[in-house]
Structure 1
Amino acid sequence: MKRDARDAPKSITLGFEADCVTLPIDAILPLRALGKSAKSSRKYRQIAASIAQIGIVEPPVVVRNPDRSATWLLLDGHMRIEALKDAGGSEVECLVSTDDEAFTYNRQISRLAPIQEHKMIRKAIERGVPEEKIALALDLNMSSIRRKARLLDGICEEAVAILKDKPCTNAVFDALRKMRTMRQIEAAELLVNANNYSVAYVNAILAGTPQAQLVESSKPKKVKGITPDAMARMEQELARLQEGIASIQDTYGEDHLHLTVIKGYVGKLLGNARVVRYLAQNHPEFLGEFQTITEITPAEADAAE
């Protein structure tokens, strides 16, 4: 049986050339200038410290200059190039882009979450890398490295799995550590459902945690700025909130399906000019509501539920 030419697999255009190239730094032309405060920023100091200790981890991205000269245009890695220059470097290994679109590639990636950073540090320590060298490479002091290495002490595996890629602060784990296992899981789910990982919110969850669900259940619970009466009220409110979330989760999939079907049906109705004319003349309030339903986006649907 002959295959239609339209069914033939299409070739995939690669975003980068297969091999890196080592280029003189002087031959790389930046497409933008660094701001005046860039070199005094913490990000720049971290990059410089990392390069000094372990070299370039993520190669800069360049593209061949369209004027066919011996120069290259720098698409991504402006701070890395500046840090190399300041360190006296003369060459750098680069990725070669096949497209000259000058946007910041780092905006397209997910940043390292605290749990991922913890695992990276733990793995380095287990492989024999001295804590001092890790601290220098990350431009952190020794106490920060040790604290990051102990980040998950006292945190159950289920809570870690829930928060593994979330931007939680150390305060989140400090609060979770004061809770028993089941409460840690509940608290982690509350953080994710609210998409709120702030110190204030995790302290509110801690304040609303019943005494029996704390690790030190015999010790009176104290949260700065919150009175015992306020904590009792928060416990009740948080319990009701969790019940509400649980009830929504039970029917979420079915409700979302119903809303999708309704939206499609109403959209089909409004595609009929006679129906729209009839509604406009006799039930204009219904027409407005129907149009609102057809304009609901997935994000708005989730928020409404």
Structure 2
Amino acid sequence: MRKKVSSAFPKHSPSGLSLRGGRSMRDTDPRPAVPLAFETTSLRIPIAEILALKELSQTAIRSIKYTQIAASIAELGLIEPPVVIRDRADPTVFHLLDGHVRVDVLKKLGQTEVVCLVATEDESFTYNRRISRLATIQEHKMILTAIEKGVSEERIARVLNVNASSIRQKKNLLDGICPEAVELFKDKHVPINTLVQFKKMKPLRQIEAAQLMAAMNKYTVAYARSLVAATPEAMLVRPKKPIRGLTVDQIALMENEAASLDREFKAIEHDYGTDHLDLVLTTGYLTRLLSNARVVRYLAQNFPDILAEFQKISELRKAA
């Protein structure tokens, strides 16, 4: 038996406040009403009556994601309800749009019912593709907040299905990293080992390296290691270990070349916005100029080489 659980949306909104003459703001608003994406109440539905739109593969069942969701449900219960939609021919039949893993886990735990959100439209997209994944530093702050509120490291580890040592590593993730670098990384998916490499550099070099990574939109561990390798010893927390197969002079040459490359990159980055704007304006002007047949005919007769170059520049805009 399906049961209504709770009202997800208020029955009356501020837009329905009365105006003089008995009319409401809603009556006078010429804009069309926005349809609700979900029914106003969630339903407790027997799991056996929910029809899955896909079958979970064995690869999905053995994945880390599946085990993490299973561990979270076992420890905390269901947090995010699955999403279903009514069958067009029979409204008492429900199809599962999102939450196949959650429903499968609940079924294996012996649960017979689940609270679901009922969608009003099947928009044929995967909900999880519309979710912004938690950035590395945001996850770190979430773990710190949970610990401050009294949640043990062991329980967090059980919920996330990881070792307690991994939680301790994430808890101390930003130790040794300057606030300016943290600010640049706060909404980025930065590998943990990239941040480990940053701890080898002093704050000023950390800021430079973080700016380079942000400009390149590249946060890989290999790139972080290359930045550390190109860092002068005076900018490192500890002296470098000798690199097998390279002499001191070769390492110094690498550092000088890396420093020169950094300077060139920053100079290009500084002028890029202005140069790009100039190029856009120039190509726009030349495109309009070459649309004039008299101008093209004059250039073809008197300055064919210039016309050819103008046409090449104009083509850049079409290619973009």
Residues 84 and 8 (structure 1), Cα distance of their counterparts in 2 relative to 1, 3 Å cut? same
CA displacement, residues 124-155 of structure 1 (integer Å, 9 cap, x when unaligned): 11100011111010000111111111111111
CA distance in structure 2 between the aligned counterparts of 1:185 and 1:208, rounded to whole angstroms = 15
**Residue 122 of structure 1, aligned match among 144, 166, 184:** 144
* Structure 2 contact 71–159 (Cα < 8 Å) conserved: yes
Q: Which one of 42, 49, 67 corresponds to residue 45 of structure 1?
A: 67
**AA matched with 1:263:** T
- Per-residue CA shift, 1:15-34, capped at 9, x if unaligned? 33344332222222111122
Q: Does 1:289 align with 2:312?
A: yes
Structure-to-structure mapping, 1:55-134, within 5 angstroms? 55-134=77-156
Q: Sequence identity of aligned pairs in percent? A: 49
Instruction: Please give the alpha-carbon distance, in whole angstroms, between the structure 1 residues aligned to 2:293 and 2:85.
Output: 53
Task: Compute the displacement of 1:9 (Å).
Answer: 3.4
Partner amino acid, structure 2, of 1:43: K
Uncovered stretches (5+) of structure 1, i.e. residues with no partner: 1-6, 298-305
* Equivalent-residue separation in structure 1 for 2:160 and 2:151 (angstroms): 13
String of CA shifts for 1:191-233, please: whole Å, max 9, x gaps.
Answer: 12222222211011001111111123xx3x0276673444323
- The secondary structure found in structure 2 opposite 1:247 is helix
Alignment of 1:240-251 (within 5 A): 240-251=260-271
Please report the TM-score for the alignment, with normalisation by the length of structure 1.
Answer: 0.85
For residue 238 of structure 1, the aligned residue among 245, 258, 261 is 258
Residue 52 of structure 1: how far off its partner (Å) = 0.7
Mind listing any 5+ residue stretches in structure 2 that lack a counterpart? 1-28
TM-superposition CA deviations, 1:99-120 (whole Å, max 9, x none): 2122211112221121111111
Q: Is the 8 A contact 1:168 1:198 kept in 2?
A: yes
What one-letter code is carried by the residue in structure 2 that aligns with 1:247?
A
Partner of 1:222: 241
Aligned partner of 1:179 among 158, 182, 201: 201
Instruction: Give the whole-Å Cα distance in 1 for the aligned partners of 2:244 and 2:51.
Output: 54
Distance 2:100 2:69 in 1: 11
Task: Give the C-alpha shift of residue 70 in structure 1.
Answer: 1.6
| Residue number among 269, 272, 291 corresponding to 1:252 in the alignment | 272
The within-5 A match list for 1:21-40 is 21-40=43-62
Over the residues paired in the alignment, what is the CA RMSD in angstroms? 2.5
* Bigger mean CA deviation after superposition, 272-281 or 172-181: 272-281
Q: 1:278 to 1:86 in 2, by over 3 A?
A: farther
- Partner SS for 1:295: helix
Q: Aligned in 2, Cα 1:88/1:256: closer, same or farther, shift over 3 Å?
A: same
Per-residue CA distance 1:53-77 (angstroms, 9 max, x = gap): 1122222222221112422111112
- Return the offset for 1:48: 0.5
Greater CA drift, 121-130 or 53-62: 53-62
Partner of 1:191: 213
- Aligned partner of 1:303 in structure 2 is none
Larger radius of gyration: 2
